[in-house]
Chains A and B, each alone.
Chain A
């Protein structure tokens, strides 16, 4: 149980480190990853095998697996990186100049009535006011791209 907990902890740390590296050192890491499968690198790893501890091997293996997961498929998960100024700058490059924005957020929720009839009773006027504020924010966001479609309130 303790070992599995440690492995889970290492996995979380490595995934976090990989996420950090994905934004700061993406070109360098992708080059490193492209050279991983070469025979010369494998020989080097065999020569250095005596200096490596098993835990370090495990660490490297998990790091490579997570690296592959994050680079082969570009599905990155970002969790509130804006609060960290060091890592927010690479994020800013992604989060600007969108061609299109889909915001289906001010949803009235009336479509759920077919599944859950309690929605009819639980809706309050404050919900409607909040929806209006969100839709006004939408107008502000989309005003530079110039097109907004308002389906329902």
Chain B
């Protein structure tokens, strides 16, 4: 997908070291060695808002339904400081490949990635 006319744009960066910030970057920011090493990832600035409202704490058990492509999931894991348990679920198996790649690259070790329908999770937990 090509980026439209403004070459530089604002994105939010999340790193596992809890350094989440907004920077101004260009198209090649996703191809640096630091990106491939998992020091940061790029996502839209508005993606921070649902996670901020969720306010995840350390040593909690959090379910992220519809996790793909893993931007909010990695932000949750950064706020949890890699503790507790984070279940990243998505219905589409193809989009889950991006989640797996992002979580492995960012070094997130507290996550379980599931490929279930969200309604099935509701049936399992007897909440419906």
Contact = CB atoms under 8 A, between A and B. Distances in A.
A105 B50 contact: no
Contacts of A149: 50, 53
Contact of A96 (B50, B103, B113, B125): B125
A74 B60 contact: no
A99 to B, nearest CB: 4
Interface stretch (A54-62, A122-130, A139-147): A139-147
Interface stretch (A30-38, A40-48, A75-83): A75-83
Contacts of A151: 49-50, 53
Contact of A79 (B61, B109, B115, B127): B115
Please report whether the interface of chain B is mostly helix, strand, loop or mixed according to DSSP. Answer: mixed
Interface string B50-66: 11011111001111111
Interface residues of B, number: 47
Interface of B: 1, 4, 44, 46, 49-51, 53-57, 60-66, 72, 76, 85, 87, 93, 96, 100, 103-104, 107-116, 118-122, 124-125, 127-128
Given A79-B93, A99-B60, A111-B44, 20 more contacts: A74-B109, A75-B111, A76-B113, A77-B100, A77-B115, A95-B125, A98-B61, A98-B63, A98-B87, A100-B55, A100-B56, A102-B65, A102-B72, A104-B72, A105-B65, A114-B4, A134-B118, A140-B128, A141-B127, A141-B128
